[in-house]
Chain A
Amino acid sequence: MKNHDQELLLNIENLHIHFVLKKETVKALNGVDIKVARGKTIGLVGETGAGKTTTALAIMNMIQKPQGRIIDGKITLDGIDILSKNRMEIESIRGNLVSMIFQDPMSSLNPVLNVGEQIAEGLVLHKHMDRKEALVEAGELLEKIGIPRSRACDYPHQFSGGMRQRVLIAMGLACNPKLLIADEPTTALDVTIQAQVLQLMRELKANFNTTIFMITHDFGIVAEMCDEVYVMYAGTVIERGTLTDIFDHTRHPYTEGLFNSLPDIEHRNRELIPIHGRTVDPTNLPAGCPFWPRCNYICDKCRQDMPPEILVSDTHGVKCWLYENTSENPLMRRDYVAEENND
């Protein structure tokens, strides 16, 4: 057990976060459990509003207060209980032990400070370098991400979107963090630049052995980058497993719906099957499983109780009553069906 704990870099247990507004309470996270082993890349997928970014911000202890309230739960990062730290302590953890890359490179860099300065800032804070050393080091980091050192004195407006995202990555990696959270790092970029950025992240992972926590809604990126996948819906993880578990042995009806709504290059004329209905309103969650209003496999129990996590294999867990008594897979994922028809 002890050994197992040491392998775990990040452990999120039963995390509940609500945003209490004047008129309503947004239940953003409702019991999130995520375990990340050292050196792995995990992908967190789900629709907009599923709670992905809130989870990431909670790991940084950056939930907006006083509206954001951590109702319950615990986050352990490298043996440190993140949520119990005071401001000073958490400031020395952010950017040092864990850092985060945000989704919009256009607005995430400070327009009035040059990029060298912005990269060096973290080094001065956490590695206790003086400003000169830090600027030299920042130049080296820029070289590593493929931007000439001479451009360290340039300002963000002088860079393209892809370059700015790379600068943000350099900034995230400056202090060699154990965990790098990437919140949709490629969403704002066009496809070729996206590929470059992903390639860069893979190289950096190989060189620094950084654990990456990747938030995305793009299954293509998950397939390319991740070892393990967590699928979120309405502030809870509804299915988790290895890449093969999720992609080839999909269990949860929601995950199935996500796959069914993806275009398939081999069957281009096929209609996409969307998940009917809308994402649940986090201010007014239904009783029972939050997915039942949209589910095709609904039973009475779904409307009453939230299913616990059921392990269908050692690595594969799913929160769905379908697997309460059986481990057989009743789902009819379209590509399976299609393959059978083709055969």
Chain B
Amino acid sequence: MWKFVVKRLLLTIPIIIAVIFVVFTLLHFAPGDITMQLLGTKWTPEAAETLRHELGIDQPFMTQFINYIKGIVQGNFGISYISRESVTNMLAVSMPNTIYILITSVVLSIVISIPIGILAALKPNSVFSGITTAFSLIGVSAPSFWIGLLLILLLSLRLKWLPASGLESFSALIMPSVVMSLSHLAALSRTTRSSMIESLRMDYIRTARAKGVKKKDIVLKHALRNALMPTVSLVGFIIGEMIGGATVVETIFGISGMGRLLVESVNKRDINVVLGCVTMMAICVAVISIVTDVAFAYLDPRIKAQYVSGGKSNG
């Protein structure tokens, strides 16, 4: 199994390099001169030349790219053109905030939607099932910035229960996580529900019942593990979406996370910071897809058998 994980990690490296290459190229050839923006009225051809040299952007494209990759391997993402701060430091400050929100949002979505999905599957035609469907529809349809603003209006400004911005206390995590998970709750619970319904109809459930297995164990031991596969792959996908969605949520709630850093640096054309953010996001998504695959193998021995060579074959 470990061999498989290492193999997957190694395969991820070229993908990340490719992502960096694409973003690097796009930013490199984007129109406009960074030196004009930085020097403003003090711009002279000489000053621009010195600045270019200082920033390392006077070298040929491929040299710049290779130097950038070399830097990343050593943990050096270069310096911000504007604040002249190390990008590595900027990321180190903002990433934990994003990760906090991500973790709470993911946990919140799973903890809420999987039990809802199971309950809805057990009573597919009940009122409860109908209510969750309706609720899910609202969650999907309403844009998260709108929900976020409504929550701030109600819970922070009117009721003064929760802080409107920042990330100083645990209670400040609540609103961002709710907003972030809300739009995904629906998809997750619906997926769990439908795969659970399917799983409960399978022959092996009948076999388990014939053995005298208790209803609780039939649901949690026999059906759920088989039903979780689509849910797990969706969770992996959703985390990827959440990393992108963090930009909106962090902006609304004034959290200095990676998403906001990305937006701000794009606005200021701070190329190194943009690149650093995108690279870190790509790495996060890649790692999550590995975690998803490992979870698959853990859930289903048939998939594990494909990964682990030397397993017994049919016979």
Which A residues have a C-beta under 8 Å from some C-beta of B? Answer: 60, 62, 87, 91-96, 99-100, 102, 104, 107-114, 121-122, 125-126, 154-155, 157-160, 168, 171
Measured in the bound complex, the distance between the Cα atoms of B302 and A114 in whole Å is 11
Closest A residue by C-beta to B208: A110
Chain B binding site: helix, strand, loop or mixed by DSSP? Answer: helix
Let me know if B14 is at the binding interface, CB within 8 A.
Answer: no
Q: Say whether A94 contacts B301, CB under 8 Å.
A: no
Let me know if B214 is at the binding interface, CB within 8 A.
Answer: yes
Q: Known contacts A108-B206, A110-B204, A110-B226: does B212 contact A93 (CB below 8 Å)?
A: yes
B257-270, CB under 8 A of A: which get 1 and which 0? 00000000000000
Among the interface residues B209, B225, B302, which one has the most CB atoms of the partner chain A within 10 A?
B209
- Whole-angstrom distance between the Cβ of A194 and the nearest chain B Cβ: 19
- Whole-angstrom distance between the Cβ of A193 and the nearest chain B Cβ: 14
Q: Which of A87, A111, A160 contacts B314 (CB 8 A)?
A: A160
Q: Which of B206, B214, B300, B312 contacts A158 (CB 8 A)?
A: B312
Scan residues 265-315 of chain B and give those whose CB is less than 8 A from a CB of chain A: 299-302, 305, 311-315
Measured in the bound complex, the distance between the Cα atoms of B300 and A93 in whole Å is 31
Measured in the bound complex, the distance between the Cα atoms of B207 and A99 in whole Å is 9
Q: Known contacts A92-B212, A157-B302: does B314 contact A62 (CB below 8 Å)?
A: no
Q: Which residues of A contact B202 (CB under 8 A)?
A: 107
Q: Which residues of A contact B207 (CB under 8 A)?
A: 102, 108-110, 168, 171
- Whole-angstrom distance between the Cβ of A296 and the nearest chain B Cβ: 39
Let me know if B203 is at the binding interface, CB within 8 A.
Answer: yes
Q: Which residues of B contact A155 (CB under 8 A)?
A: 301-302, 305
Q: Which of B211, B221, B222, B313 contacts A171 (CB 8 A)?
A: B211
Let me know if B215 is at the binding interface, CB within 8 A.
Answer: yes
Q: Say whether A112 contacts B299, CB under 8 Å.
A: yes
- Whole-angstrom distance between the Cβ of B199 and the nearest chain A Cβ: 10
Closest B residue by C-beta to A104: B203
Known: A94-B210, A111-B204, A125-B211. 16 other contacts (CB 8 A): A62-B210, A94-B209, A107-B202, A107-B203, A107-B204, A108-B204, A109-B207, A111-B300, A111-B302, A112-B299, A114-B301, A121-B211, A154-B312, A155-B301, A158-B314, A159-B315
Interface extent on B, as a size class?
20 to 34
Measured in the bound complex, the distance between the Cα atoms of B182 and A275 in whole Å is 62
Measured in the bound complex, the distance between the Cα atoms of B226 and A99 in whole Å is 24
**What are some 12 contacts across the A-B interface (CB < 8 A)?**
A91-B214, A94-B210, A94-B212, A110-B208, A111-B226, A114-B301, A121-B208, A125-B213, A159-B314, A160-B314, A160-B315, A171-B211
Measured in the bound complex, the distance between the Cα atoms of B42 and A281 in whole Å is 94
Scan residues 208-233 of chain B and give those whose CB is less than 8 A from a CB of chain A: 208-215, 221-222, 225-226
Which B residues have a C-beta under 8 Å from some C-beta of A? Answer: 202-204, 206-215, 221-222, 225-226, 299-302, 305, 311-315
- Count A-B contacts at CB 8 Å: 88
Among the interface residues A100, A110, A154, which one has the most CB atoms of the partner chain B within 10 A?
A110
Measured in the bound complex, the distance between the Cα atoms of B311 and A279 in whole Å is 48
Q: Which residues of A contact B222 (CB under 8 A)?
A: 110, 113
Please list the 3 inter-chain residue pairs (A to B) with the smallest Cβ-Cβ separation, ordered nearest first: A95-B212, A94-B212, A95-B211
Measured in the bound complex, the distance between the Cα atoms of B226 and A155 in whole Å is 14
Q: Say whether B299 contacts A100, CB under 8 Å.
A: no
Measured in the bound complex, the distance between the Cα atoms of B315 and A160 in whole Å is 6
Q: Say whether A121 contacts B213, CB under 8 Å.
A: yes
Measured in the bound complex, the distance between the Cα atoms of B19 and A90 in whole Å is 59
Q: Say whether A125 contacts B212, CB under 8 Å.
A: yes
- Whole-angstrom distance between the Cβ of B14 and the nearest chain A Cβ: 32
Measured in the bound complex, the distance between the Cα atoms of B211 and A93 in whole Å is 9
Q: Which residues of A contact B311 (CB under 8 A)?
A: 158
Q: Which of A95, A104, A157, A159 contacts B301 (CB 8 A)?
A: A157
Q: Which residues of B contact A108 (CB under 8 A)?
A: 203-204, 206-207
Q: Say whether B212 contacts A96, CB under 8 Å.
A: yes
Closest A residue by C-beta to B207: A108
Measured in the bound complex, the distance between the Cα atoms of B313 and A157 in whole Å is 8
Q: Which residues of A contact B204 (CB under 8 A)?
A: 107-111
Q: Which residues of B contact A96 (CB under 8 A)?
A: 212
Q: Known contacts A100-B210, A102-B203: does B315 contact A112 (CB below 8 Å)?
A: no
Measured in the bound complex, the distance between the Cα atoms of B304 and A154 in whole Å is 12
